[in-house]
């Protein structure tokens, strides 16, 4: 079992790490909002529970998923889609929490994307062993809008590839409180998440949450 560093996260450096021309990791940018964000996730999952979705290829995703905002992303044997209703409950997805909206807009503005107006947020929940194979986020029609991601809980190694699946991928650690922004020329790069190592976060426990805010159209 991996032991997490004992340094105080609240004093960890807030630095901007450029990954590409228009892709950045803002280290610790969400730390002050972490408690409020975790509470918001709890409220979202009470209305729209996490579930392990089927892919068109017939696999069950190791990452559990839910959504908030006007539109939610789902996958099943028939394909991927954004819908206004949660197919599991038949009800609208939970509203986008205010704290998440404000955080995403300020991270976007800080990195050259003023007036980001997300209308969808995927919430991914990872357990040790969960992973995301290399893919592109191309179910949105608004490729001019960036995507903003917020990581909470145990750390993961993010794979940042190129425009072809076979391009070499950089390995970038994403930790509790990190925010990533990618848009423009980097919007369609292949990316993924390596299988998570066993770990326990002092606040979140043995999970990682990743929230990705998008503009669908
Ligand atoms: C993509 N989520 O939900 S977000 C997804 O950590 C997804 O759960 C991952 O991929 C996760 O579709 C990764 C972080 C991220 C950061 C920079 C990127 C994704 C990126 C730059 C280009 C493309
Ligand atoms: Fe993605």
How far away, in angstroms, is 134 Cα from ligand 1 center?
10
Residue 140 counted as domain residue: yes
Residue 184 counted as domain residue: yes
How far away, in angstroms, is 124 Cα from ligand 2 center?
10
Q: How far is CA 172 from the centre of its chain?
A: 14
pTM of the model: 0.94
DSSP structure class, residue 173: E
φ, ψ dihedrals at 98, nearest 5°: -55, -45
Count Cβ atoms below 10 Å from residue 70 Cβ, excluding itself.
Answer: 16
Average pLDDT for 12-39: 95
Ligand 1 binding residues, C-beta < 6 A: 23, 122, 124, 132, 137, 149, 158, 160, 180, 182, 186, 189, 191, 193, 210, 212
Residue 11 counted as domain residue: no
Strand partners for 67 = 122
Count Cβ atoms below 10 Å from residue 207 Cβ, excluding itself.
Answer: 20
Q: Give the per-residue pLDDT at 22.
A: 97
- Looking only at the bridges linking them, the beta strands covering 191-193 and 72-76 are unpaired
pLDDT at 147 over 70: yes
pLDDT at 7 over 70: no
Q: Per the structure, how many domains does the chain have?
A: 1
Q: Give the per-residue pLDDT at 13.
A: 72
Q: Give the per-residue pLDDT at 153.
A: 98
**Averaged pLDDT score across all residues of the chain:** 95
pLDDT at 106 over 60: yes
pLDDT, tens digit (0-9, with 9 covering 90-100), for 193-208: 999 999 999 999 999 9
DSSP 74-117: EEETTEEEEESB-TTTSSBPPPPPHHHHHHHHHHHHHTT-TT--
Helix (H, G, I), strand (E, B) or coil at 47: helix
pLDDT, tens digit (0-9, with 9 covering 90-100), for 71-82: 999 999 999 999
Which ligand is closest to the CA of 189, given by its number? 1
Query: By residue range, what is the domain housing residue 174?
Result: 16-214
How far away, in angstroms, is 147 Cα from ligand 1 center?
8
Q: What is the C-alpha separation between 120 and 92, in angstroms, rounded?
A: 12
How far away, in angstroms, is 42 Cα from ligand 2 center?
22
Residue 3 counted as domain residue: no
Six-digit token pair at 191?
A: 């990316």
Q: Give the per-residue pLDDT at 5.
A: 59
pLDDT at 128 over 80: yes
Residue 7 counted as domain residue: no
CATH of the domain at 165: 2.60.120.590
Q: How many CA atoms lie within 13 A of 185 on its CB side?
A: 4
- Position 10 confidence tier, pLDDT thresholds 50, 70, 90: low
């Amino acid at each position: 079992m991996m032991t997490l560093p004992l340094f105080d996260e609240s004093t960890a450096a807030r630095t901007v790490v450029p990954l590409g021309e228009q892709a950045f990791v803002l280290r610790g940018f969400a730390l002050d909002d972490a408690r409020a964000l975790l509470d918001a996730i709890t409220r979202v999952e009470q209305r729209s529970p996490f579930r392990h979705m089927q892919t068109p290829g017939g696999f069950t995703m190791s990452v559990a998923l839910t959504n908030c905002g006007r539109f939610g992303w789902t996958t099943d044997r028939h394909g991927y889609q954004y819908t206004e209703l949660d197919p599991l409950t038949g009800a609208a997805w939970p509203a986008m929490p205010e704290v998440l909206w404000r955080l995403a807009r300020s991270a976007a503005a800080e990195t050259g994307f003023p007036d980001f107006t997300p209308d969808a947020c995927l919430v991914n929940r990872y357990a040790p062993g969960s992973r995301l194979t290399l893919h592109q986020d191309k179910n949105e029609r608004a490729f001019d809008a960036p995507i903003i991601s917020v990581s909470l809980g145990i750390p993961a190694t993010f794979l940042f590839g190129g425009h072809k699946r076979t391009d070499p991928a950089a390995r970038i650690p994403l930790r509790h409180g990190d925010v990533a922004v990618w848009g423009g020329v980097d919007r369609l790069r292949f990316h993924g998440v390596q299988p998570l190592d066993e770990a326990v976060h002092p606040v979140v426990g043995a999970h990682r949450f990743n929230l990705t805010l998008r503009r669908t159209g």
